[in-house]
Structures are given as structure tokens and as C-alpha cells.
Structure 1
Amino acid sequence: MTQTEEAPTAMIDRVSSVLDAFVGQRPLTLAEIARHAHLPRSSTHRILQRLVELGWVERSGFEYVLGIRMFELGAQVVRQRSVYEAALPVMTDLHRRSGYTAYLSILLGGEIMHMERVGLWPAVGREWGVGARQAAELTAPGRALFAEMEPDEWPELEFASAPTCYSVRARSQLEREVARVRDRGGIAVDAQGCALGVTVVAAPLAFDDSGNRVALSVCGPTNSVRIETMAAAVRSAAVEIGYAASGVPRMRNRPLRPVPALTGFR
């Protein structure tokens, strides 16, 4: 292949590396982006300048964030996928009735990526934002999806991160947790394994239009989450999303199981 043929591909790779630096991150400086992208600062600066001009990235002082153009395209991708369109009103209702934050997440390799979020709690920790990723073995959505798979279908897992004393640290421990998920009929619970004081309850959904495995979850303070009540609500919400995504009408229009209203986490 000639140098002329290689140049466009090399440039696309560099631009992709710069944009990948923003995944799950706070606003970043030029030095931080160059370090994440493994590029020289001069090259990173030239790429960022052009991305700012095109609206893909925005600059405020010495920091950069993803621009509105990126979010516009991302929103179009989400709207193209029926499971996301079906999930959003159910997630909104689940959040409204419970006070907990609702998430829609997909399995990407050994990580869970959050595609949608309805609710503001927890307000700290970039791993809880839309577009953020967490090690799948640590999360309730990850375990809910693993329970739908045979163990030899699981992605490669590193078990490199153990943020709390409640975290899953080895495959044997994960296998026991997944067995518990199956015993609960597919409902996964993570109590403080990702962060102290945070409990997450999750259920699997159907594949999206790109073949990604999707999970619904709710997240709330450990000292207020009633696991059995929330498990029933998440299971019911998952069924609602399944019907809405498939276009098959329900035989009876039964409301979702009510959950106790909370305050302070909307």
C-alpha cells in the first residue's frame, strides 16, 4: 500500500484516539487528552482545533469536552434502536415512581456501557454517567447478562479492579453470583460492589438492533433500597419494555407494580 493510501487511515486512527479519550471522562486538558490518546501534544492540538471548528468538541479555557454535534449524532443512533425507544418512557416512569435512577446499559466486551440514564443520583463519580463504562463483573447489569449466557460465551474478564471490599475479585466468585441471579429468576443485585453506599438491581432485556446485549437497572442509596420491592419493579419494567420493543400488545393492560416513593434522589 502506498503512503498516499495509508495517510487517510492513519489520520482517522488519530482522530478516533482523541475522541476515545473522552469516554467516561470529565473535561480534559490538552495534556490529558494527548496522554490518553498516546499522541504528541502538537498533533493532538491540531486535531482538537479542527474538531472544535466542526462542533465535535467544545473548548472552555484550557479544557475540552465533547461538543453538541457528537451528542446530536449519538441521539440519532439511540433513536434508531427500538429497544431504546421502548425503554425510555418505562425508565422515566420507574424513576418517577421510585425516586431511584434508572439505567439502560449494554455489554461491550468485558465492560458495561451506560446508554441512557434517568435520574441524577449518584451525582459524583464519572463511572455513573451516560457513555461511561464499568467492569462487567462488578455490576448488576453485567451479571444479569452473564446469567443469560453460557460461561464459555463470557468475554475475557480481567478482575483488575476491586473498588470496595464487596467487589467480585475472581471468576469463581462471579460464577457464584451469576448462580444467585438465576435463582432469582434473572434479577441481579450489586450491593456496594461498585461503590460504597450504592446498590443496583438489574434485569436483562432483548438484544438491540446491533446485536448488543441490553440490561435495565435501577440505582439507589444502599440504606434505602428495598431489594425485593425493587427487584419486582425492575422485572415488571423489563417485561413492559419487551412488549413495547416487539410491538406485541399485552393481553391485559396492567400497570407496573408500585414502588415506595422516595425523596431527595430525583
Structure 2
Amino acid sequence: MTSSSPGFVDEAERFEDDGRTGRSGPVERALGILEVAADRNGASARELADALDLPLPTVYRIAKELVGAGYLLHAQAGRFELGHKLHLLGMSLHRQVGLSRPVTSEIARLHEATGFAAYLAILRGGEMVIVHVVDSPDCPRLSPLRFGFHEAPHATAFGKLLLADLDPDFRGDYLERHTMVALTARTLTERSALGAELAAVARRGIAWEFGEFIPGWDCAAVPVRAGDSRLLGAVAVSAQAGRLNGRERVLESTLRAVSSRVGALLRQGN
């Protein structure tokens, strides 16, 4: 006897890809459809099929289920767009990572006070994750640093704060999972060189990054801590190369003040 539940496929359906089997399971396919629809501001079934290398009938079936569940919308001209239910998930995620209005206002004030792109990262799932950015045309954010970014910790100022906070043994395991790729000519890729810099970061309580992540851009970050000194996250700024020069002391003082206020808000649950 077999049974099925709405929104799930049976074993036979997992192998309907006309020779393209093994690419992903049903959940991964559904998430892929949502991601393509998000990246392209909507997409036709054919565009989704081509982008994900899936048969058109498979895309139609999964998309129909997502529409029924409220995660996709079948718009005009046969295009699939994100459904309103995703907004509820996004709001819940923002609440979980502590993005209250007082917290985000502090990041906006950091941007206004410095004239630099300002960031808030939260320690979540063992990663330092960007959760809020405030920028302007005069000093835009670094394009990869979007909501959810947590890659290349060896090359970002806020990532170095996380690495400096880790026990050396755990740090070694962590770096084994995150390859120290040379993103620019200035990226530290040797464990010994990075270790020496992380010792300085831990000692001074501030991390600097000069053209190590993206050529021509510099960053600075300070930790946000709990009352017992546990690392909660980081506040950071980025600017075109040279704009931080000569402002290090004032910038450090500003970052620490914002970090202190953000830490207090997070501890209070605000």
C-alpha cells in the first residue's frame, strides 16, 4: 500500500527528469524555483525550467503547489512571482535576528555620522551573518554584503571578529570548512599571518580590513557583546580606499558607541 500527502512527491516522481536525475530532491527543487523567481523579479515556467535544468512538467507541478501554498503567485503573461506568504517568513526571520526599529535606527545613525555604508551582523548558527545595511549613493554597500552574507570570514572585518573570538582549536576546524581563498592581492591566505592579525584583533577589540575583500574598499568592525562578554554580533562600516585614513580614532570611538547601544538593545530584547 502506498500513501501520499499534498505537497510531496512519491519515489517514482523523484526520477522523472528524463535523464537528468540526481540533480536535487523535491525540496531543493522548490527552493530553486523560489530563488530564481526572486532573482529575476518573476519568471515564466520555461525560464525556470531552463535555469534549473528541470523538465517543464516538473516545474509546472512544483510551481502549482507553491502557488496553492501562497509562496508563489501566478501573475499575468504566465509569469510566476513571489507570493505574500514569503513576506511573513521574512518578518519572522527579522524578529528572530533582532531587527527591531531601535536597532536598525542605530545602524542608520552610524551611516549618518560617518558617511560610510553601515552594517549590522549577528552571530547565528556559528556564523557572523549580515542582517542589516544602510548606505547611500555617495558610499554604497559592498555589493556581496547583502542580507544573509557570511562567507569569506578571513577577508572581512566582521568575519575576523568571529575568528578572533574562537578558541584556536575550533578556529582551525572552522577554517578547514571555509577555504581561505585569495579574493584580492591583499587577502591573507596563510594561517600564521591570519593568526597574528587575529591576536591583534582580540587584543584591541577592533578589526580592520584594507582591500582584502574587494579591491579599492576598506572596512572596520567592532564586536557587539552580551553582558557576560559573549559575542553577539558586530557593527561595521565600509568605504572607498583611503577614506578611513586619518579618521581611525574617531571612527573607532563612533563604532564602539554604536556597538554599546546595540548590545544593550539586544540584551533587553528591543
- By the TM > 0.5 criterion, same fold? yes
Residue 71 of structure 1, CA deviation = 3.8
Which of 158, 163, 183 aligns to 1:141? It is 158
Q: C-alpha separation between the residues in 1 aligned to 2:257 and 2:148?
A: 25
Instruction: Rate the CA distance shift 1:190–1:67 in 2: closer, same or farther, 3 A.
Output: farther
Q: C-alpha separation between the residues in 2 aligned to 1:60 and 1:190?
A: 47
Q: Deviations over 1:171-212 (max 9, x none)?
A: 22221221121232x2111111111121111122247xxx99
Bigger Rg over Cα: 2
Matched, 1:74 2:95: no
Matched, 1:177 2:197: yes
Q: Is the 8 A contact 1:34 1:41 kept in 2?
A: no
TM-score by length of 2: 0.69
> Residue 147 of structure 1 aligns to a residue in which SS?
helix
What does 1:247-262 correspond to in 2, within 5 Å? 247=268
Instruction: Rate the CA distance shift 1:48–1:132 in 2: closer, same or farther, 3 A.
Output: farther
RMSD: 3.9
Instruction: Rate the CA distance shift 1:22–1:133 in 2: closer, same or farther, 3 A.
Output: farther
Matched, 1:214 2:233: yes
Matched, 1:235 2:256: yes
Where does residue 17 of structure 2 map in the other structure?
none
Where does residue 90 of structure 1 map in the other structure?
106
> Residue 232 of structure 1 aligns to a residue in which SS?
helix
Q: Structure 2: any 5+ residue segments left out of the alignment?
A: 12-24
What does 1:1-266 correspond to in 2, within 5 Å? 4=4, 7=9, 11-19=26-34, 30=48, 33-34=51-52, 43-44=58-59, 46-48=61-63, 50-51=65-66, 56=71, 69-82=85-98, 86-107=102-123, 112-120=128-136, 123=140, 126-154=143-171, 155=174, 156-184=176-204, 186-206=205-225, 213-225=232-244, 226-247=247-268
The alignment of Structure 1 onto Structure 2 pairs a total of residues equal to 240
Q: Percent identity?
A: 26
Instruction: Rate the CA distance shift 1:16–1:31 in 2: closer, same or farther, 3 A.
Output: closer
Q: C-alpha separation between the residues in 2 aligned to 1:26 and 1:178?
A: 39
**Residue type matched to 1:203 in 2?**
V
Residue 157 of structure 1, CA deviation = 3.7
TM-score by length of 1: 0.70
Residue 238 of structure 1, CA deviation = 0.7
Q: Is the 8 A contact 1:111 1:135 kept in 2?
A: no
Residue 245 of structure 1, CA deviation = 2.2
Instruction: Rate the CA distance shift 1:246–1:193 in 2: closer, same or farther, 3 A.
Output: same
> Residue 163 of structure 1 aligns to a residue in which SS?
coil
Structure having greater relative contact order (Cα 8 Å, sep ≥ 6): 1
Instruction: Rate the CA distance shift 1:175–1:12 in 2: closer, same or farther, 3 A.
Output: same
Q: Is the 8 A contact 2:123 2:233 kept in 1?
A: yes
Q: Is the 8 A contact 2:117 2:140 kept in 1?
A: no
Q: Structure 1: any 5+ residue segments left out of the alignment?
A: 249-266
Q: C-alpha separation between the residues in 1 aligned to 2:194 and 2:201?
A: 10
Q: C-alpha separation between the residues in 2 aligned to 1:118 and 1:191?
A: 20
